[in-house]
Chain A
Amino acid sequence: MKNRTYNILFHTHTVSGIVISVVLYVIFFAGSFSFFRDEIINWERNESVEITDAIQLDFDTALDTLNSQYNLYGRDIEIRKTHQEQRVNISLGASKDTLATEDTKTSKFLYLDTKNYAQNSYIESYSLGEFLYRLHFFAQIPYPVGYYLSGFVAFFFLFAIITGVLVHWRKIVSNFFIFRPLQKLKTLWTDAHTALGMLGLPFQFVYAVTGAFFMIKLLIVAPNVMVLYDGNETKLYDDLEYNHPHFKLGKNTLTTAFSANTYIEKTQALWDDFNVTEMHIFNYGNENMHVLVSGHIDCSDKFTGIGDAIYKVGSGVLVSKKDPIENTSYLDGVKNTLYRLHFGDYGGYALKIISFILGLISCFVIISGVMIWLVARDKKKIPEKKRRFNERVVRVYLAICLSMYPITAASFIAVKAFQPVDKSFIYSFYFMGWLLLSIFFIIKKDLNFINKYTLLSGSILGFLIPIVNGCVTKNWIWKSFANKQFQIFFIDAFWVVLSIISMWIYFKLSKKDATMPK
């Protein structure tokens, strides 16, 4: 590579990396915890559910419960399972009946407990798991600012990945096993940055592309709507099969009996290992009532196996179906792959844990990149004032990034200790705590101190999490293990392991400090 090319790529990599570093760190840190979003939520509620893709629900009882309260006649109803929780999502569309009361002409969204049929609104269901999940795309910043911020950061991350790989191109093989932690600080950071960057490359590339897609897909979609579809957005989403079909409301009410469960059974009989993840009912209680049952076959059988069946309730006839086993369309393949790769939900806990580790490795790559930037500019020929400024920038960066670990651990304790907590409590605890910790570490003026004490405090708080959980719920870690309440056990054990590792690193760092001459 020519010297010129190398220097240009090097510079663009440095600048793009430095600009996005803090935001990207927050995304990766919160995102890594989001792999365990459902486990965290179940742990918070002290609930444990059987891990299935399929909805475990008596649909008839659920619909009767809803009908007595909301009068479902003429509405479109959707029951969906999107997470491993004891609650399913219920969307009630506005009634299409012109004679309906004002109240039934409004749409509603709620969560329904699959065991005791209790209802919860979104706000009532808010949890730390949801908070961390939403933090990883900055949903707390008013829409659309947060979404676009995270989307463009993902996009510039892609740019930084491409330039980074090109810069490192000639040394990918030769430097892969090189690690010189003892030579000097600069080589330690550089070797760590390149080796871990290479190891995590496929992972990071996938998250950069899919992350950009999730958050700023509008930039791709909007021109297509305007030019290809002459502004007809619905047609585009119909073509991309994001919309359900439409059925008009008939004049008369349904005369035959209706049992939702039979349609679930009918559909499951069509294909082996078919998991029903959604039921969509059109025109409830009307002569033109239809039921759509959709889902997928097990991932272990087929990576993309999405299918559905639509029935007309009056006659019980299967109107149309999409076979999940034969002829998977390219469209379904891409949609499913983009989603699955990002959520990492196709390989059980092994994949989630590996993804979590790779996520934290990405955090380390970001931090080491910032450290290279600092160390490379910490030279005698650079004016003292400039060096002090650089040091201050990195100090602020590190203080913000690294204090995420203790404040996240503290929040796990807080949501247990101050139960029941609501959205505003989680917001104020996490953000205020984060701010105070950051300020404290910035004032300390010592990078080494920030590094060591965020690890130590996070580790101590992490050890307290299973203890606090045990005290509050009496469901100690050995009890949840014995009772096979896996999600509850997992979060407790997860924090113990995480705390042991960070404590070990803390002692390693302390020992090194003691032996290193000042």
Chain B
Amino acid sequence: MPANPKYLSSNWQRFAKISAGFLGGYLVTISLHIALSYWLNHVHVIITETFTGFILWASLMVVAFLAKNGWKIWVIYLLLSALFSIAIYFSKIYHPLLS
């Protein structure tokens, strides 16, 4: 029994979900880990990222496919990445790793 196509999205929606999961998910994963590196022991965060990075990224891909609207999930992922990037930006100024 192949999946019932009435639940599956098509064309642009499908494109939005695939790209959001793959690219958006990657951006969220990386920005989150880098932001954490400034506030926790950065060596620990980086070496942890070697496995949590891939697990989180793959999970975010699953979430993107479950979304009702692919563009909405893109917006959410971009907002999250922006949030973490702002944290990185200010951390880098006030709490830099390399001094």
User: Residues of A at under 8 Å CB distance from B?
Assistant: 3-5, 7-12, 14, 155, 158-159, 162-163, 166, 209-210, 212-213, 217, 219-220, 223-224, 227-230, 232, 235-236, 239-240, 330-331, 334-335, 338, 376-377
Contact = CB atoms under 8 A, between A and B. Distances in A.
B67 to A, nearest CB: 10
Interface of B: 1-4, 7-8, 26, 30, 33-34, 37, 42-44, 46-51, 53-55, 57-59, 61-62, 65-66, 88, 92, 97-98
Contacts of A229: 97-98
B2 to A, nearest CB: 6
A209 B55 contact: yes
Nearest to A235: B98
Contact of A12 (B2, B48, B65, B97): B65
Question: Which 10 A-B residue pairings sit nearest by Cβ, starting from the closest?
Answer: A11-B3, A7-B7, A7-B3, A10-B3, A158-B58, A159-B58, A4-B7, A334-B47, A223-B30, A212-B54
A462 B94 CA distance: 66
Contacts, number: 97
A394 to B, nearest CB: 14
Contacts of A210: 51
A8 B7 contact: yes
B65 A8 contact: yes
Contacts of B61: 159
Given A8-B3, A155-B54, A158-B54, A224 B46 contact: yes
11 contacts: A8-B8, A10-B3, A159-B62, A162-B58, A224-B37, A224-B49, A228-B34, A228-B37, A334-B47, A334-B50, A338-B50
Interface SS of chain A: helix
B54 A213 contact: yes
B50 A155 contact: no
A199 B15 CA distance: 34
A220 B7 contact: no
A104 to B, nearest CB: 36
Given A11-B3, A159-B62, A230-B98, A220 B88 contact: no
A224 B65 CA distance: 28
Nearest to A156: B58
A383 to B, nearest CB: 14
B51 A213 contact: yes
B62 A330 contact: no
Given A227-B88, A376-B2, A209 B46 contact: no
A7 B8 contact: yes
A5 B7 CA distance: 8
